Chains A and B, each alone.
Chain A
Amino acid sequence: NAGVMQNPRHLVRRRGQEARLRCSPMKGHSHVYWYRQLPEEGLKFMVYLQKENIIDESGMPKERFSAEFPKEGPSILRIQQVVRGDSAAYFCASSPPGVAVSSYEQYFGPGTRLTVT
């Protein structure tokens, strides 16, 4: 049973380019979460999605960032016109449907390390 998969593992973009990060949740999981980890900092929540729905995007920057989780295919985190401050590790996590809050659990992917030059 494969875990959460993210690709690419490393991504280098020049300032102004677009970055697309992909996340395939664990089999049977329909909830996806994106986090950003800046150097020397903890993970910061960005967005929570279910299939075809954005549930909570309160952690997403208002501009240039978007996320989707289509009915078919992986979840995509898209960063337009990247700037140096976007350099970070981006982690995706997934959880199964119907999980009770009392047993809340997320399974993390290995992350995508974005470097903006």
Chain B
Amino acid sequence: AQSVTQLGSHVSVSEGALVLLRCNYSSSVPPYLFWYVQYPNQGLQLLLKYTSAATLVKGINGFEAEFKKSETSFHLTKPSAHMSDAAEYFCALYGAGNQFYFGTGTSLTVIP
């Protein structure tokens, strides 16, 4: 079965602090993994993707994620949060069945 679990539906960090958004996956085949960001009343924008090349993936806006097969994880990080990072973040898996499977999302709040 294919699924994505995002731990923590709400995360708050102070401006300048480390951002860590957690994502674990379950897949019967080697997965492709993605992180998307959604700003209010907008569509999803791709942050980064893992497609079986380097396990550490760098994306836009200073975000990166590391694929860890042993932990079935693909956590999203950013060293220093900015106010403009406040948004909803979705982890997604593209696996068996040629479909995308999305997590339930994590709402990131950045405190000034």
Whether B97 contacts A104 by the Cβ 8 Å rule is no
A110 B43 Cβ-Cβ under 8 A: yes
How many angstroms from the CA of A4 to the CA of B97 in the assembled complex?
A: 24
Structural contact, A91 and B43, CB atoms closer than 8 A: yes
**B94 and A104 contacting across the interface, CB-CB below 8 Å:** yes
A42 lies within 8 A of B105 (CB): yes
Bound-complex Cα distance A45 to B95 (A) = 13
- Residues from chain B with Cβ under 8 Å of A45 in the complex: 99-101
| Among A103, A104, A108, contact of B44 (Cβ-Cβ < 8 Å) | A108
Which residues of A are found within 8 Å of B9, using beta-carbon distances?
40
Residue B41 at the chain A interface, CB threshold 8 Å = yes
B46 at the interface (CB under 8 A from A): yes
Whether a CB of chain A sits under 8 angstroms from the CB of B51 is: yes
For the complex, give the distance between the alpha carbons of A101 and B52 in Å: 11
Q: Is B74 an interface residue (CB 8 A)?
A: no
Within B38-57, which residues are at the interface with A (CB < 8 Å)?
Answer: 41-46, 49, 51-52
| Chain B: minimal CB distance from A61 (Å) | 16
Contact A56–B100 (Cβ < 8 Å): no
Assess whether B43 is in contact with A58, with CB atoms less than 8 Å apart: no
A60 to chain B, nearest CB (A): 12
Does B51 lie within 8 Å of A103, measured CB to CB? yes
Q: Is the CB of A42 within 8 A of B104?
A: yes
Q: Is A41 an interface residue (CB 8 A)?
A: yes
| Chain A nearest CB, measured from B82 CB (Å) | 22
Residues in A whose Cβ lies below 8 Å from that of B45: 108
Residue A59 is within 8 A (CB to CB) of chain B in the complex: yes
Residue ranges of A at the interface with B (Cβ–Cβ < 8 Å) = 3-4, 6, 9, 33, 35, 40-45, 48, 56, 58-59, 91, 93, 101-111
